[in-house]
Amino acid sequence: MITLSGSCLCKAVRFQISGPIMKTGHCHCESCRRATSSPVTTFLSSAIKHVAFTGAPRRIFASSPGVSRGFCGACGSPLSFETEARPGEIDLYVASLEGAAGVPIEQHWYWNERVDWLTCQDDLPKHDD
């Protein structure tokens, strides 16, 4: 069984994943870019039942119909993404993990929405959704 831990910048909100990672990827969609103020963000997906949050409660923002983004109310760090399209799943930001370098990334999502000034030179599959 895999166990990963992470937190927001101020460490007020912490989380632990105690179960398999379902998928990983770099997301290039406009919504994620705006939510993180970065050209791309990297997620891992897990079953919600395998994720435990501790410390301060996450604040939740409904960023679009059926989509909830979790963040720290103290420092503002983005922490999670949930969509009604994938019930029972939660996406967590790989960069918020302790030891994030050990998580292999499998693919790119929303490649068609990427910013043209960022070059990604890898052999990962690139999907438009």
User: Domain residue spans in the chain?
Assistant: 3-113
Neighbours of 97 (CB within 10 A): 19
Q: What is the spatial distance between Cα 55 and Cα 36, in angstroms, rounded to a whole number? A: 22
Tell me, which fold does domain 3-113 have in CATH?
2.170.150
pTM for the predicted model, two decimal places = 0.93
What length is written for the chain?
129
Long-range own/partner contacts, residues 116-122 (CB < 8 A, 24 or more apart): 117/39, 118/39, 118/40, 120/26, 120/40
Amino acid symbol at 62: A
**Within the chain, which residues score under 50 in pLDDT?**
none
Beta bridge partners of 56: none
The pLDDT tens digits of the residues spanning 61-97 come to: 999 999 999 999 999 999 999 999 999 999 999 999 9
In this predicted structure, what is the pLDDT of residue 100?
Answer: 77
In this predicted structure, what is the pLDDT of residue 1?
Answer: 59
